[in-house]
Structure 1
Amino acid sequence: MAGRAGPLSAAAILLCGIVAATETAGGPPEVHDRRWLPPDSRLVQDALPPERLTVAAGAHGLVELGRLAFRSPEILGGNARLSGIACQTCHGNGGANADLFIPGLSDRPGRVDVAHRLWNPMADDGVDRPLEIPSLQGVADNAPYGTAVRMGSLRDFTRRVIVVEFAGREPRPDLLDALVEYQLALAAPGADAVSETARDEGAADLPRYLAVLRRALEAEDAPLADLVSRMVRAALGRMAARPAADALPYADWARTVAAVARQAEAGDFAPARDTLAGFSAAVAAAPAANGG
């Protein structure tokens, strides 16, 4: 196959910071385009497919942890993480983002080169090879997994995507298990689903995220509580930055979640659980977080 085209401009990759935010009069921060990607990159999907799961929402702890991690750039590395890219970016609600386009890595929307130095210089294969972004709906029955590399184990392939393709840190075994469980729970098109929603991530997801944090505290696992806290706070930031964000105290909520993690880090798990219980009750009472 042909070699790569000319290198991406360093300025295209290193312009400014991750996300530039400025306060707008009477509204949430204005979040500008990510600056760690080439100009004219497009990550946003026009229309997300419904999220259809074969398990009831909130009923499976690993699935819920995996769902949160699937939406978090925290698990990836390098420019992907800095650009706010998560599994959800390419596979919105388990589908395929047919609108994603990154100049120099895509030949048309819905295709991207995942073996490129922009993601991981150590995994660059030196070949221009944009590949179709696959849907993950029904992935449980679609082995082997992957397009550039075919693997028989979804767990091994998920790890490869994180560590090799996107230069992430080695994931905790339980986090990797959770990501696999979430993917396995994605119903195939046309198949029956126990839980279905057409909603993108919003305030109504927060109680489920807090339940993930509660399980980490119950296990007295401070590193997991810290990781989940960071993922939840990032999710709150995404919720606050939505064009039609609910009028909720996201910044205050994020500070409370951070305080819970600090208590856990200090070994004060009982006070951390009490803080979280009170906070969860307050969140549940907020109209937009109670089914909105």
Structure 2
Amino acid sequence: MQFTQTTDLPVYSEVTWRNFVFFSANVQHLLDVRALATQQKLYHHVCSFAALQAQADMDTFLFRDKTFWLAPPDRPAFILTFHFGHYRAVPIFLVRRGYRLCIPVSKDVRAQQEAYYSAHLGASFREQVLFLEAEDPHLFFKLRRHMDQGYHVLCYLDGGTGASVTADANKLTEIPFLNGSIRVRQGIVDMAWLLQKGIHTLIVEMPDEQNGLTICTLDYCDTKWYGDRKFFVNYYIKSIYQDFEDALLQHPEGWEAWLYLHKTMAPGSHESRWTTEQRMVLFKNQGQQLLLDKYTYLSYVL
């Protein structure tokens, strides 16, 4: 049996190469990109853009508004987005326009998020931005109460570095995506239907930082159009991701989630597309040599 060659391994640190091989599995499942050199090139582009947008000063950016049917600040709705492009611009854009936001986040990153908003909006950000723990079993009731108080709910559909697929895998639903499939959370869409609130999916176009950041509407939905809860939730989550595909295929380097999809969304694809050589790649973890099966994400000690 031949394994994927790792002639570039000495160029990378152990941690960077380990991160790359899981990234490689993610893009191979969903983009059907099989050449290691192409995967490496995309990996560098994704990492470079992720670092660039993380350091961007939103105070220096001009926002261009290409949204439509966006609920006004005084009519609470669910606002969804992705970790795509300068995604941190979405809440800043909304706050500047007078929106009050309630944002569910993992408890592992809550302090980090609060520090970020404090740095960009000042100590008074708490008057407009409220964080709730996504793991809270009473989250639905808290969201309902805060929406009654005038808050919009802002949620990143594709999870984040603080999310984990193993904690609540039974709550994930498999949907087709690009050339494969992913497992996604439907809870926020379900809550929107239960509360009969509008859903607005926003995205930041890229690349456009020299001319300002363009916030545009990817999709809008009035949940009152749909009478059947189960049908709506299953249909609409697929629809949102289908709309997202177009932007993603134009600029795959803009999706930060490529770096952690294996932790949050369990990408998959048809096994017949994979040869043994394309599945296996060597990596190290704390000095121990392992073999990763990129199709299953299982690793084996050598």
TM-score under structure 2 normalisation?
A: 0.28
Q: Which has the larger radius of gyration?
A: 2
Greater RCO between the two (CA within 8 Å, min separation 6)? 2
TM-score under structure 1 normalisation?
A: 0.29
